Amino acid sequence: MNIIVNEELKAYIDPLTPEEYTSLERSILAEGCRDALVLWGEVLVDGHNRYAICQAHGLPFQTIQNTLFKSMEDVHLWMIDQHLGRRSVSDFQRGVLALRKREIIAERRARTQAPAPATADADDTSSPPWDDTGSAPELATVPPLASRDDIAKAARLSSNQVVLIEKIRNQATPEVVAALKSGAISLNAAAAVASLPAQEQVAAAVGGADELKQAAKRVREAKRPPRAVSADATDQSEGTAHDAIPGDDVPALKKRIAQLEKENDALRKQVLNLLEKSSRSA
């Protein structure tokens, strides 16, 4: 059987971590490849890791054709839905997948609303690779993800998490995203760091988890409004200042200053007398 590994499809979903890959390999070596690989003609759609492990160890595997695919968009939507339902996928990954799904559906709807071309393109490759007639059945209508709540529901997240993920996806550098995926920082911290200029993001990521957390803290503190002083505290401070220095009694204030200066002179004379006595004694 000829199986084609499309690198774009293989990279469409985040790869397994080394630990996850090792765990899957142990499972297949012990129990065999229980789940069939999903193909689109000869193109491998689902099961890239299982296929690689079986090839490396000479193990048998089963395949199944998905006859609903009519285009690469259909493949992408199917892959997204498969991974959105898996528990091993992180919150960030689910959010990114749901946002991709929204974009695919929006682009598809925009095309269907555009005027149809007069003639079909002779080079059109949207048909399934095993069927040159393009007669594969239509996919079921995919509902749009029109609102942030729709995206959150599809990804099993909160609306606030979707906001954070969208910000990270649009603004974060690859280094910050990598730190988030590795678990070095939280979703909230990554979104805060993503608001910094790219160079500062990279510098924080290079500094490690602690530096990223400190950068996130600085961003939050910079956005925090200054603490308001209560009216009672203001009145009290003004009253204290007024009592300490009565601005409406200037003559009394001058008199007090003169008295203090006189006392200082007397103290200086006492110090000088003490110094002279100690020098004579020596």
Q: What is the DSSP letter of 38?
A: E
Rounded to two decimals, what is the model's pTM?
Answer: 0.66
Tokens of 94: 């689910």
Structural domain span for residue 105? 69-111+139-157
Per-residue pLDDT, 3:
95
Least confident of 79-88, 120-129, 132-141, 164-173: 132-141
pLDDT digits (tens, 9 = 90+) for 166-222: 999 999 999 999 999 989 999 999 999 999 999 999 999 999 999 999 999 999 998
Domain co-membership, 1 together with 80: no
Closest among 79, 72, 58, 48 to 129, alpha carbons compared: 72
Average pLDDT over residues 150-163: 92
Domain membership of residue 167 (yes or no) is no
pLDDT digits (tens, 9 = 90+) for 52-106: 999 999 999 999 999 999 999 999 999 999 999 887 789 999 999 999 999 999 8
Per-residue pLDDT, 72:
93
Domain membership of residue 162 (yes or no) is no
The H or E element spanning position 205 is helix 198-206
Per-residue pLDDT, 272:
67
Domain co-membership, 220 together with 176: yes
Domain membership of residue 279 (yes or no) is no
Tokens of 97: 């997948």
Q: How many domains does the chain have?
A: 3
Per-residue pLDDT, 140:
46
Question: What is the distance of C-alpha 204 from the center of its chain?
Answer: 15
Domain co-membership, 48 together with 82: no
Q: Please, what is the average pLDDT of the chain?
A: 82
d(CA 65, CA 43): 10
Residue 164: pLDDT band with limits 50, 70, 90: very high
Work out the angle between the directed axes of helices 18-31 and 48-57 (0-180°, nearest 10): 60
Contact call for residues 187 and 161 (beta carbons, < 8 A): yes
CATH number (domain holding residue 30): 3.90.1530
Domain co-membership, 153 together with 102: yes
Domain co-membership, 177 together with 101: no
Contact call for residues 90 and 15 (beta carbons, < 8 A): no
- For 49-105, the DSSP string reads HHHHHHHHHT----EEE-TT--SHHHHHHHHHHHHHT-TTS-HHHHHHHHHHHHHHH
Domain co-membership, 220 together with 202: yes
Domain co-membership, 180 together with 144: no
d(CA 128, CA 134): 6
C-alpha separations of 13 from 32, 146, 178, 240 in Å: 24, 23, 15, 66
Domain membership of residue 176 (yes or no) is yes
Domain co-membership, 90 together with 146: yes
Tokens of 169: 């996806």
Domain membership of residue 100 (yes or no) is yes
d(CA 265, CA 268): 5
Please check the confidence at residue 123 and state whether its pLDDT lies above 90: no
Residue 231: pLDDT band with limits 50, 70, 90: low
Task: Find residue 43's DSSP bridge partners.
Answer: 4, 40
Q: What angle do CA 122, 126, 130 make, to 5 degrees?
A: 100
Domain co-membership, 28 together with 58: yes
pLDDT, greater one: 143 or 150 = 150
Please check the confidence at residue 151 and state whether its pLDDT lies above 60: yes
Domain co-membership, 107 together with 179: no
Q: What is the DSSP letter of 247?
A: T
Domain membership of residue 215 (yes or no) is yes
Closest among 63, 45, 52 to 21, alpha carbons compared: 52
Domain membership of residue 273 (yes or no) is no
Domain co-membership, 178 together with 213: yes
Domain membership of residue 218 (yes or no) is yes
pLDDT, greater one: 47 or 252 = 47
Question: What is the distance of C-alpha 125 from the center of its chain?
Answer: 35
Domain co-membership, 74 together with 146: yes
